[in-house]
Amino acid sequence: MKVAIVGGTGAFGLALARRLVEAGDEVVIGSRDAERAREKASEVGAGAGATNEQAVGGVDLVVLATNAAGTLSTAVDLAQAIGSTPVLSVASDLRSSDSLSLAQRTQDLLGGPVVAGLHSLAAGKLAHGRPDEDAFVCGDDGDAKALALELAAKVVAGRALDAGPLAGARALEGMTAVIVNLNKRYKGHAGIRVTGLP
């Protein structure tokens, strides 16, 4: 799979790139700063680093790994370059009172399908290997969801689980807040595994 990671020089984007490169995927690191993208791509063994707009061309899946505050503006800026390519939204807008998830609002801005996932994974744990956790993906487009589930299965030691339609992204994004609160309260590194599934 060829994957572009937009915002790929950030902590989560770089950690994800490391795991995907280990899995044998072709990864392009995207950033607003092409030189920084090239430096970070070299650091993690990714195939290339480029501006975000250049990175999204000719890939199978775009991972939108910007912080929540920059996700929608980045989607607007890259809508034409992304075209109909599937997008995986990984950010969580923890401060929004909007009833729609960040992924749903992103879907409204792009021409291709948007799926949501990986919200329960912490950058710090992902940077040091495949965490012993499950990863969740939701979306309305079957083909886009299949790509995202394939990606998710490569970066966790647990399972990649189909969490239903894109409407469920609000709950997935909310999981981030729960995990952050648990980690603060118990000074730990919480993750999620689902029991009772075949």
Supply the pLDDT for residue 36. Answer: 97
Asked if 173 and 116 touch (Cβ cutoff 8 Å), the reply is yes
Asked if 137 and 152 touch (Cβ cutoff 8 Å), the reply is yes
Supply the pLDDT for residue 123. Answer: 94
Q: Is residue 195 a part of any domain in this protein?
A: no
Q: Which residue segment(s) compose the domain that 165 sits in?
A: 2-186
Cβ neighbors of 10 (< 8 A, separation 6 or more) are: 65, 66, 67, 123
Q: Is residue 29 a part of any domain in this protein?
A: yes
Q: Is residue 26 a part of any domain in this protein?
A: yes
Q: Is residue 196 a part of any domain in this protein?
A: no
Strand partners, 5: 29, 63
Supply the pLDDT for residue 97. Answer: 72
When divided into structural domains, the chain yields a total of 1
CATH code of 164's domain: 3.40.50.720
Asked if 21 and 45 touch (Cβ cutoff 8 Å), the reply is yes
Asked if 65 and 46 touch (Cβ cutoff 8 Å), the reply is no
Q: Is residue 150 a part of any domain in this protein?
A: yes
Residue type, 140: D
Q: Is residue 191 a part of any domain in this protein?
A: no
pLDDT in tens, 79-134: 999 999 999 999 998 876 778 999 999 999 999 999 999 999 999 999 999 999 99
| Least-confidence region, from 22-31, 46-55, 91-100, 167-176 | 91-100
Supply the pLDDT for residue 95. Answer: 77
Q: Is residue 193 a part of any domain in this protein?
A: no
Q: Is residue 77 a part of any domain in this protein?
A: yes
Percent of the chain clearing pLDDT 70 (strictly above): 99
pTM as predicted:
0.96
Comparing CA positions, the residue from 73, 145, 147, 59 lying closest to residue 105 is 73
Cβ neighbors of 158 (< 8 A, separation 6 or more) are: 131, 132, 133, 134, 135, 193
Percent of the chain clearing pLDDT 90 (strictly above): 95
